[in-house]
Structure 1
Amino acid sequence: MILTITFTASVAAAAAAATYIYINRRPRVGKRHKSKFHEDDDAQIYVAMSSNALRCYSMSGEDLVLFDTLGEVSDAIREAGLVECQLIIGIDFTASNLTQGEMTFGGRGLHSIEANVENPYQQVIRIIGHTLAPFNETGIIRGFGFGDSETKDTSVFELDPQLHFCNGFKELLAAYNETAQRVTMSGPTNFAPLIHRAINIVRREKKYHILVIIADGQVVDEVRTRNAIVAAAMWPISIIMVGVGDGPWSMMEAFDAGLPARKFDNFHFVDFNEIIKGSNDPDYEFALNALMEIPKQYIAIKNSRLLSGSDSRDNLA
């Protein structure tokens, strides 16, 4: 499939009418342009992408934000005005994790804990935690699990119920490792309780948060999950959903491309295995793809005054 995207007139001069070619939903660029961060009058963000760019794409196709390097993403995040963020990690403990590594994890369960082999959840926690560390000065990361035999699809549990948070991604990894070996996996899968917990945290703290949901498949209650994502767009929260395991990912791709109109596009899906497959630097490329929409999301949050601290949205969450 080949898709040509033409910039709007307000940024055409700056971007020199770049043409992007999609092959299997991965962009390739025919012309080389100087990578530069642009914002038009409508607060839409565009970045020209050079011909040697890594694989990254926006499923929605509305505001295409592309970067050559992870350094450019970090620069764009800072240029957007983001100097600090809080991190929330949600981990899927549904029983499907026991079989979802058949093709992508050597037939092992996705939560398998081994001495010399990182499972996909461990990889994502480490990469995201390390990459966002410069923007998380407090080091506080809140970790939650869902889909086990106790919470099922109705609530979440804290990975560290004593402190209620972890101090850095290494502590989060330790809490995850301990939990993965003792929890009884169940289901069904529902992101709504986790998203509403994140909303409650943001309502209380009045700070920008990034919610990373790591899960192995489709949600059962699509309506509740859709409604929760829409409700979260009333708050300063970016949601990154990282799919691990064999999939399928059609619902997540549909969420990324076709959720109802919101204050801003607050949901971004990343297929972890597809991104790292065949990559010479999987950590780098995953981080790049996971964070590529943060700059435009944060600018949209600022322009919508979602960081104002107002409590007028409480009845909408």
Structure 2
Amino acid sequence: MATQCVVKVELTISCKNLLDKDVGSKSDPLCVLLQSTGNDQWTEVDRTERVKNCQDPEFSKRLCIDYHFEKVQKLKLGVYDIDNKSVDLKDDDYLGGFECTLGQVSTWITPPIVADEVKDNRAIVLEVEARNLDKKDMFGKSDPFLEFFKQADDGSWTLVHRTEVIKNNLNPSWKKFTVSVGTFCNGDFNKPLKYFCKIILLKAQTQIRLIKKINTAANLSFFCLIYSILIFFIEAQYTFLDYVMGGCQINFTVGIDFTGSNGDPRSPESLHYLSPDGTNQYLNAIWSVGQVIKDYDTDKLFPAFGFGAQVPPDFKVSHEFALNFNPNSPYCQGIEGIVQAYRAALPQVRLYGPTNFSPIINHVARIAAGAAQQSNAAQYFVLLIITDGEITDLDQTKQAIVNSSKLPMSIIIVGVGEADFKAMEVLDGDNGVLKAPSGEPVSRDIVQFVPFKSFTSAPREALAQTVLAEVPGQLVSYFKMRNIIPVNPPAPSK
């Protein structure tokens, strides 16, 4: 299940040396934020206040917008000289403006535009155990779990967390869990809370005891009847935006399937065949995902590789060849550079096989392992693999993914054509935890697979929205697993 990264972002705007359109006085500027809705259509999102008689305004009203990592959000900022009380800008003088994406604002645009996430980044961390619970099950010990509730303004109670069930145990120790301060108590540490211990009895939940109302401002560690709050503290809960706005670079790498099952690129039946407009499913996938990722990499140099082809000059099979045929510098300048390298390589290689993923995964993993040694949140890696068929080195790929799950990287697999992609769904892990042949499970979910055919009639951006939706959560899960904070963390919430 994709974890949507949808948060509120506030843009702080200031200007310098605006044009003076008023006679006898300075301009009265106001800034308007527009967002593209497609087909060259724009809709107003927000606007600042008007600042009277000022050519260097610092607007106090912030512009608020929803942020979606998986989308290219095109923005247009315009500054107008306001000389009347009408909200219509058609009769006001346009002083200037520019276009950008919200991803660019969050990563490399510097003042006069500053982006801030609207949030409380604190979280409650709790670990609870119980001793000598009553035996309520006729044929065995109880199966207890805990439920925590907060009180609403109208006096009703809302469930905020339910622990896992501990089977057949009268002395349970539940796993440590984390709940955001907003969810736990709406940021109000004087809000009353209560928790219940329940058991599963005859497939029904049976409440056995209201333990105690607790106050979140109480001591961090305390005993409550037969229950022990082993851990109770507040920690900063950093988000995806905290990391990328704090300086984390997202490094994008592409791996392209050049196996024989794609068909002769000269044939219109081939998945590598370039249509009259110069595109195919491979290029559409690269454009779709790349247009989002590129805003999070400052140098715009993207490594691109092919696999499963016989490569010049000796035409030996390679599962990890640079698309530009320069193994010492496999980087392409921008997404356009990847496209150009792909088009140039296509007539030079001989499609062959088999379909091996592990060499390219291990290649990116080696680079990610080097970044992991820095013990900071400066780099994260996203590998896009585009393939047409069943994977050949499944066991080696599972092991490579398990190893990579300990590193700052995510893997996106896009399946093109009409092949059976059941093995890819196994790698995705949505239906269970992926394990290596040795039985070792992944440390965290890092793979997302989608079949391209599901998006053939959808807008190009729909593919990116689906495959990239999980990346923010995966990035955060890695740095949280390593207890690594952003390079430049946000100021603590007050």
Name the TM-score, length of structure 2 as normaliser.
0.44
Contact 1:122 1:173 (C-alpha < 8 Å) held by counterparts: yes
Q: CA deviation at 1:178?
A: 0.8
Q: What does residue 146 of structure 1 align with?
A: 307
Amino acid corresponding to residue 278 of structure 1 in structure 2: S
Q: Which residue of 2 aligns with 1:263?
A: 443
> Relative to structure 1, is the Cα distance of residues 209 and 285 closer, same or farther in structure 2, using a 3 angstrom cutoff?
same
1:180 shift after superposition:
1.3
Question: Which of 379, 382, 407 is residue 210 of structure 1 equivalent to?
Answer: 382
> Counterpart amino acid of 1:171?
G
Name which of 402, 418, 425 aligns with 1:246.
Answer: 418
Amino acid corresponding to residue 481 of structure 2 in structure 1: S
Cα distance in 2 between the residues matched to 1:203 and 1:247: 33
Q: Does 2:345 align with 1:182?
A: no
Task: Among all aligned residue pairs of Structure 1 and Structure 2, give the percentage whose two residues are the same amino acid.
Answer: 28
Number of residue pairs matched by the alignment: 239
Query: Is residue 153–residue 193 contact of structure 1 (8 Å, CA) maintained in 2?
Result: no
User: Quick check: 1:291 aligned with 2:455?
Assistant: no
The C-alpha deviation readout for 1:183-218, integer Å capped at 9, x for no partner, is 100001010011011111222344210000000111
Deviation at 1:113, TM superposition (A): 2.3
| AA partner of residue 91 (structure 1) | I
How far residue 266 of structure 1 moved from its aligned partner, in angstroms, is 0.8
Residues 113, 203 of structure 1: CA spacing in aligned structure 2 closer, same or farther, 3 A cutoff?
same
Q: Is 1:225 equivalent to 2:388 in the alignment?
A: no
Q: How does 1:270-309 map to 2 (within 5 A)?
A: 270-274=450-454, 276-279=455-458, 281=459, 283-305=460-482
CA shift at 1:111, angstroms? 0.8
CA distance in 1, matches of 2:452, 2:480: 31
Deviation at 1:138, TM superposition (A): 1.4
Q: How many angstroms does 1:161 deviate by?
A: 3.3
Distance 1:170 1:12 in 2: 52
Higher strand share: 2
Counterpart residue number, 1:236 = 408
The structure with the largest helix share of the pair is 1
One of 347, 362, 369 as aligned partner of 1:196: 362
Q: Identify the residue that residue 41 of structure 1 maps to in structure 2.
A: 178
What is the distance in 1 between the residues matched to 2:331 and 2:147? 47
Aligned-residue offset at 1:114: 3.5
5 Å-filtered alignment, 1:20-31, equals none
Q: 2:133 is matched with which residue?
A: none
Moved more, 137-146 or 148-157: 148-157
Q: Distance in 1 between matches of 2:335 and 2:277?
A: 18
State the AA in 2 paired with 1:155.
Answer: H
Contact 2:324 2:345 in 1 (8 A): no
Q: What is the rounded CA distance, in whole Å, between the counterparts of 1:10 and 1:152 in structure 2? A: 62
User: Deviation of residue 84 (structure 1)?
Assistant: 2.4
1:155 pairs with 319, 326, 347, which one? Answer: 319
Give the residue type in structure 2 aligned to 1:269.
F
Residue number in structure 2 paired with 1:311: none
- Taking a change above 3 Å as real, the CA distance of residues 186 and 302 of structure 1, as seen in their structure-2 partners, is same
Higher RCO structure, 1 or 2 (CA under 8 Å, sep 6+):
1
Q: Distance in 1 between matches of 2:351 and 2:363?
A: 20
Aligned to 1:78: 241
Matches of 2:322 and 2:481, distance apart in 1: 31
Q: Distance between the aligned counterparts of 2:391 and 2:270, measured in 1?
A: 19
C-alpha separation between the residues in 1 aligned to 2:319 and 2:336? 25
Aligned to 2:195: none
Deviations 1:90-147 (A, max 9, x none): 00000001189xxxxx962111124414101111111111111211111011000000
When residues 154 and 183 of structure 1 are mapped into structure 2, their CA distance, relative to the original with a 3 A threshold, is: closer
Q: Which runs of 5+ in 2 are unaligned?
A: 1-145, 153-157, 160-176, 184-238, 373-378, 436-440, 486-494
Shift of the 186–303 alpha-carbon distance from structure 1 to 2, 3 Å rule, reads: same
Any idea what SS the aligned residue of 2:310 has? coil
1:182–1:141: structure 2 CA closer, same or farther, 3 Å change rule?
Answer: same
The Cα shift of 1:164 comes to: 2.1
TM, length-normalised to structure 1: 0.67
Provide the C-alpha distance between the structure 1 equivalents of 2:381 and 2:467, rounded to a whole number of angstroms.
15
CA deviation vs aligned residue, 1:20-55 (integer Å, no higher than 9, x gap): xxxxxxxxxxxxxxxxxxxx7179xx9xxxxxxxxx
Task: Give the Å deviation of 1:155.
Answer: 3.5
Residue 308 of structure 2 contacts residue 354 of structure 2 at CA under 8 Å; is this kept in 1?
yes
CA, structure 1 residues 157+200, in 2 after alignment: closer, same or farther (shift >3 Å)?
same
Moved over 3 A (4+): 8-14, 79-83, 150-155
* Structure having the higher Rg: 2
Give the 3 Å change call, closer, same or farther, for CA 297–142 of structure 1 in structure 2.
same
